[in-house]
A and B are shown apart, each in its own frame.
Chain A
């Protein structure tokens, strides 16, 4: 490794934030230049590309403080992997935005479109360079968000809404899993790093063994691995979370090419590449090799079943992401190499193919595979691009995809051998099986340009230059990479390219790994297991292509079975949720005060009694009490109870109110006996006034006697008894306590000399605790206001 320089802080900061600032300015720019905003946006992307390029050759971290109190910083890390994703995001961005200038001509809501695309680009660049777990998550979620906006671009269409919501549910929820993983990682590191580096990815990359050890000793290695895996799988459309990706094709085609093939979906595999040096292990291999190979195969099979060219490409994308995940999954150095190289190859051929699909859809007016064919006559350049890209996708030698697939086969074989054979041979077997289907759908896509033109298809116009140049450039790059392999066989290497891929590869390896002298690739010149596997793939693929139609049918027959479709589960869950929601709302909030009061009172009683039980409260001895109830008091209280019982069984409203006031007056008498003359007076007048108001109101109400349901009465009786018991215990335990230094004696001592009044209660009310009284009169005033409002707003009620 050559000595490297530190990255320039200002350049890194600019590359991440320039797109956001530019996005904010889009409405203004759009007002000025209209649809040419596309080229403004492309220029921004180009500037970002230049900034990223300026950091080529640097390595290291720059950091800006952000939330010090949480130890979160806005730090960025530049290495091969981050530069790769940075180049992809900005470079593909330039092409896509240019292409949009042609594609989006006359489309609605363009400012929102370009602002979202730029914001997305900024987020993606942020993901690429972030070196702080939280900062990474911030940008991660922002990519999901901009994806939501862009998928829902045609917002009036229900299919767009469905797709946008689906992608949001899956990717944002997946992100939350990842966040939990990050936070667990953080809480483990908090002890080791004394806090300062607990969110730092750089620290983890520098101390991978320590991190793994700490995680394992906390028993959190597997949870963290799994949680981060869920986040990556959701974003990179791994089975069974892949289902949002085909629907995401509701977005305008440039968006599909940019977000849903070249960049955003790479965030997941980027994450794996980023954490690979830290977490790679036996469990890692098991998890991600299986996940990746499964996705690769399942998605390739589904692509064969596709009827729409964008759908085909979407499944293909998921499949290739699976390939990359599987590559990163294999613990050997080869695994990292596979992933690193295939990210590049996939980005070139898949972005090119999406743009081709856009051209086809735009110019031919349909995306149905069965309605397309023989396009090469009208679109010769496009056909040439497709040939290079599709053959690369198929893994046909000597096109670029072939070389990275060779690496996968090698890694799979090696892993199988390393694991001692047996079931592990499923790795190479499944890899070959999946590749056969990859070959099939790739060729099918290519065949759109060959053969007979279907009758329904009219003359297809050539696309505008702005739409043709970007895929052409991508095709040329793919071609150059392919050429590099052939030349490599003769010992001629594109040194800077190889060096760069080597840097990316190195980023995915733990420190001290063997790079076998750096990255280089060439056309195989002798038979190896991998070459054999490639040959088998090609032969099987070519042999079964004639039966493509039947395979297509077969796949669709299988996916018609609900329980085999991940989508079916998603739809059932989401629509089922509405039903559950209705039930919840109706059952829980049933509108009956009785239900509400029952729950609330039962909870009060239960909670309180549980509290007493938990502390094993003992009821006081029979004779011990600070409360002495005299006989007159007892009599008064008994009359009060009689009154209360009479209220409860009162046959009419009037009799109830009258007995209620018996209770009230008994309480007043009780206050007299309890030496509380002020209370007695107050209670007396209040009771009188309440009686008047009661009578006035009752005068207007109908006589209503709720018919009595015995079962309900019994239930209410039980609850009432429980509440009564709670109060009973409360009274008993609180009469037993005998605190000293109670604050009451102070008032008795101070009332006359300092308070200046003999009526201690009144002195408390207007002096010691006048603040309470202030609140009290506020309530009284509001009670009056409330009555006014209730009556005055009556007629106005309808206006709102």
Chain B
């Protein structure tokens, strides 16, 4: 029973966080430890991925913390879905950290930057891996607490104000999450997600508890996840927080932290609640399938409306922004809509194929958005570092003085627009494909989904082409002509751009991983067996 690799990424991040906390007095050593820790994290994630997704197979591993058997102890679970999320998060995090080492001023690094960054990764990793709903709350809080501080990091007027909004909304969110967890525990008698999935699917076997409230309770939880993902109408904190945070932190917030909300939606609604035995469901104007996915039928329209609103608000808001960060922040709102749109389709899908396709599309889009938006925020940071501003009115002609940086930005923008063969194209294509397949299968609303996706995609072209013209072409002002982009920063941007191109050309691997992730997300029984079956077989019982 040495499946320590499951917990390894979390431990590496945690140890790194503590090590960088204890070495604050020794600047150099701290940065070195931090970078080493980040590489170690990358390695731990790679190990986990290689175990979960060896060629041609996908496994589910569960690990009982403190050695207590599920569902009593806390379980962490590594399956293809978690592995997918962890894998791309680890890469983006490493890039952001390397960038930070030469971007954030050394005083800031010494104060708290590195421990906070790694604690954020602890929270992210814990959230991706945990198989316990309350434990999810705890890791959310770890992630949030560090992100609060990182948003307010520069501690100026705009930073404090942005953080205030971010903090208050999320504190309310935390309370709502507790409420939901309490209700679910009281209703079902468990906190373990696999156990929860088993119980809601067959309440008769567990005391015949009332299943009806589960939908409302899960809706409370959904709002919290939507808040984390920055989905309209919970997107309000996004623009100011992304503007306020240091560039690499914005890259993390948009590229990784938001995706935790997406992951939670996929995990909790498709894996855990997907088969809730809700039989009587009345949705005005909508038909409810009788194949045991009635709960998802409720979330289909909900997710659709939220996704559509996000796409429109984010896309429209981004067009005329006067600064790169603002544009990227609004863009993030819109892009999260693109991630959730195929989930809405998956929730209402009539066939298993379309359901898998929808979830896989969301995963691919999440990955692409992580890379592309991460790159763009880092590029924005590098521009700021070189020019001293990232406001369009003061920019122009960057391609002349910073060609590599501009090329990196261009690749990121094209990836989000969906120009092939960059990875972003496949994200967009799969979103269209999911909606198109649903449309061909006659699912209500799928044509609307196609339309919204198209509008959003055109808006993306509109705002990025405008940004390009204003910032990168045109007459360079003096500041830009004297710009001296730091090689270490530009290198990270270019490396990410290359990664985006490689992921597109070698998309087969990504697609297989996304498919495996989607299948894992929908393989409820596999998840339950891995957590509860395995526990009976061995790990926790014979304790002490």
A contact residues vs B (CB 8 Å cutoff): 66-70, 134, 137-138, 141-142, 145, 152, 155-156, 158, 160-162, 164-165, 168-169, 172-173, 176-177, 179-180, 183-184, 186-188, 190, 218, 220, 574, 577-582, 584-585, 588-589, 591, 593, 595-597, 599-601, 603-604, 607-618, 726-727, 729-730, 733-744, 746-747, 750, 754, 756, 767-772, 774-776, 778-779, 781-783, 785-786, 788-790, 792-794, 796-800
Question: Chain B contacts of A786 at CB under 8 A?
Answer: 112, 145, 148-149, 152
The distance in angstroms between the C-alpha atoms of A584 and B468, with both chains bound, is: 21
- CB of A800 within 8 A of CB of B122, answer no
> In the complex, what distance in Å separates the CA atom of A640 from the CA atom of B135?
29
Is B474 an interface residue, CB under 8 A from the partner? yes
Q: Which residues of A contact B233 (CB under 8 A)?
A: 599-600, 603
A740 to B205, CA, bound (A): 9
A672 CB to closest chain B CB (Å) equals 20
Contact of A615 among B169, B281, B419 (CB under 8 A): B281
Give CA–CA (A67, B430) in the complex, Å: 13
In the assembly, what is the distance between CA of A521 and CA of B14, in Å?
Answer: 80
Chain B contact surface mostly: helix
Of residues 138 through 161 on chain B, the ones whose CB sits less than 8 Å from some CB of chain A are: 138-139, 141-142, 145-146, 148-149, 152-156, 159
Q: Are A183 and B134 in contact (CB under 8 A)?
A: no
Of A743, A768, A772, A778, the most chain B CB neighbours within 10 A belong to: A778
CB within 8 Å for A585 and B320 given contacts A779-B141, A789-B111: yes
The smallest beta-carbon distance between B35 and chain A, in angstroms, is 20
Cα–Cα distance between A610 and B189 once the two chains are bound (Å): 24
* Residue from the list A618, A739, A770 in contact with B66, Cβ < 8 A: A770
In contact, A615 and B216 (Cβ under 8 angstroms): yes
The verdict on A607 contacting B302 (CB below 8 Å), with A161-B474, A768-B73, A793-B108 known, is yes
Is B155 touching A617 in the complex (CB atoms < 8 A)? Answer: no
Residues on B with C-beta less than 8 A from A172 are 417, 419, 461
Is B237 among interface residues, defined by CB-CB distance under 8 A?
yes
- Are the C-beta atoms of A612 and B216 separated by less than 8 Å? yes
Q: In the bound complex, do residue A187 and residue B65 qualify as a contact, i.e. CB atoms below 8 Å apart?
A: no
Q: How far is the CB of A21 from chain B (nearest CB, A)?
A: 14
Chain A minimum-CB-distance residue to B214: A615
Do B440 and A218 touch (CB < 8 A)?
yes
Contact of A782 among B119, B168, B426 (CB under 8 A): B119
- Tell me whether B511 and A617 are in contact (CB under 8 A): no
What does the 1/0 interface line of B415-445 toward A look like (CB < 8 Å)?
0011111000110110011001101110000
Interface string of B66-80 (1 = CB under 8 A from A): 101001111000000
B210 within 8 A of A: yes
Query: Could you tell me if A604 and B176 are in contact, using CB atoms closer than 8 angstroms?
Result: yes
Chain A at the B interface: mostly helix, strand, loop or mixed?
helix
Write out the residue numbers on chain B whose beta carbons fall within 8 Å of the beta carbon of A186: 433, 436
Please measure, in the bound complex, the distance between the C-alpha atom of A781 and the C-alpha atom of B399, giving whole angstroms.
44
Instruction: Give the distance in Å from the alpha carbon of A403 to the alpha carbon of B176 in the complex.
Output: 76
- CB–CB A746/B155 < 8 A: no
CB atoms of B465 and A165 under 8 A apart: yes
CA distance A193 to B475 in the complex (A): 54
Q: Does B165 lie at the interface of the complex (its beta carbon under 8 Å from any beta carbon of A)?
A: yes
Interface range on chain B (Cβ under 8 Å from partner): 35 or more
Number of A-B contacts (CB under 8 A): 359
Give the complex CA separation of A172 and B515 in angstroms.
Answer: 28
Which chain A residues lie closer than 8 Å to B544 at the CB level? 754, 756
A-B contact pairs, 19 of them (CB 8 A): A69-B511, A69-B515, A141-B420, A183-B436, A187-B436, A581-B317, A581-B319, A581-B321, A589-B239, A600-B233, A601-B172, A611-B215, A737-B187, A739-B187, A740-B206, A754-B543, A771-B135, A790-B152, A800-B154
Give min CB distance, A240 to chain B, whole Å: 16
Please name 17 further chain A to chain B contacts, defined as beta carbons within 8 Å, in addition to the given A165-B469, A581-B319, A611-B216, sorted by A numbering.
A68-B508, A172-B419, A176-B432, A176-B458, A177-B454, A183-B432, A187-B440, A220-B440, A580-B316, A609-B216, A611-B298, A726-B220, A737-B187, A767-B68, A778-B17, A779-B141, A796-B108
Q: Which residues of B contact A617 (CB under 8 A)?
A: 212-213, 216
On chain A, the residues within 8 Å of B168 by CB distance are 593, 597
Task: Give the chain A neighbours of B439 by CB distance below 8 A.
Answer: 184, 187
Q: Are the C-beta atoms of B155 and A790 separated by less than 8 Å?
A: yes
Cβ of B376 < 8 Å from any Cβ of A?
no
Q: How far is the CA of A789 from the CA of B212 in the complex (A)?
A: 46
- Tell me which of A173, A582, A603, A769 contacts B457 (CB under 8 A): A173
- C-alpha gap A621/B429 in the complex (Å): 52
